[in-house]
Amino acid sequence: MPSYPGMPYGPAPAWCFPLFEYSMYLLFLFCLAHAIRRGPRDVSYLLGGLVFGLLLELMEVFLGSYTYGRFTIMLGKAPNHDIPLCIGVGWGIIMYTARLFSERLYLSIWACAALDTLLAINIDLSMDIVAYRLHMWHWDWSHTGLNPLTAQWFGIPFGNFVGWQTVVFCYAAFSRLWEKIIVQKHQGVFKYIGVALLALVCSIIVLYTSEEWLFPQLNKIGVRSMERFIGITIILLILLVWHKRKKAILADRIPRVAWWVPAWFHLLFFALLFIMGFYTEQVWMVIAASANLLVGILIHIWPVLFRQRK
């Protein structure tokens, strides 16, 4: 593993990368088994999310946004233009289980997409600060003069979180919108494949256009990544609060896999924060990680505590 300027941490222990990588594959198998039981819509959404995740990651490494460490299965052109397969798998299972959770609350399309996005961001806010220090993926701060451990969100650019917001919201919203347009008008399994492809293409277009044109224009008028992240988060919360619920939350069970995936991400990286000694850096990072874990727990138990029975 190469050393990075300003980073005091050496290579991660040999077990860290395989633990993360193979747990992604195992969780994907759980999600796929669940999706197969539910039907072609869910299978298409899960696999579409995986393909979308791989495409967007390839786009980002070619644009020079960040680089990846070496996992077992890498796709692309080494050394700086390749990505781990498990990252695309991670995108797929995060977006799939977020949808499983949000659709059980019977929210509007926009509120569901907003909740999916907030659930994904809740995972990433804690995951990135640990994975970055393990050199699973890396942002280069050497040309900025900033401390790579304290710049922006504990060394993570706010633009990364804006990217997460764009990716998850677009895929969640476009999938639901195209389903509403296509599914009721056409027969057969292929309509769900068409929905996934259309959602993927539309989302890639929005992501690329935003990063290559919209965000540079906003930078020129002083609306930088932190302001964009805060502004988009406020908009997502407004969409979630001012929604029109389709029906009351009933006592039907949320699928277990919708809890397993976020629970694994949260607990794995929260544990690694302490196991690897990163918690000694600064108390605010520990407070942020702890608060983020608590928020994740509260969000996922809320439907159980406040659901209405038939």
Q: Are 255 and 34 in contact (CB under 8 A)?
A: yes
74-77/81-84 β-pairing: antiparallel
Distance (Å, whole) CA 93 – CA 235: 25
Confidence class for position 310, pLDDT limits 50, 70, 90: very low
**Percent of the chain residues topping a pLDDT of 70:** 93
* pLDDT digit string, tens, across residues 1-11: 446 777 889 89
Residue 101: count other Cβ atoms within 10 Å of its Cβ: 23
Query: Is 247 in contact with 106 (CB distance < 8 Å)?
Result: yes
Report the mean per-residue pLDDT for the chain.
91
Map residue 75 onto helix, strand or coil.
Answer: strand
Give alpha helix (H) positions in the chain.
Answer: 16-38, 40-63, 85-103, 109-133, 151-154, 158-182, 190-209, 215-220, 225-241, 257-275, 283-306
Q: Do residues 250 and 307 make contact, with C-beta atoms less than 8 angstroms apart? A: yes
Instruction: Give the integer Cα–Cα distance in Å for 56 and 159.
Output: 14
Classify the C-alpha dihedral 15-66-132-86 as positive or negative.
negative
DSSP summary character for residue 192: H
What is the per-residue pLDDT for 248?
56
Asked if pLDDT for residue 253 goes beyond 80, the answer is no
Q: What is the pTM of this model?
A: 0.93
Whose CA is closest to 96, among 258, 219, 288?
258
Q: What is the pLDDT of residues 19-50, one digit of tens each?
A: 999 999 999 999 999 999 999 999 999 999 99
Q: What is the pLDDT of residues 72-130, one digit of tens each?
A: 999 988 877 899 999 999 999 999 999 999 988 888 899 999 999 999 999 999 999 99
d(CA 67, CA 136): 9
For residue 241, name the pLDDT band (cuts at 50, 70, 90).
confident
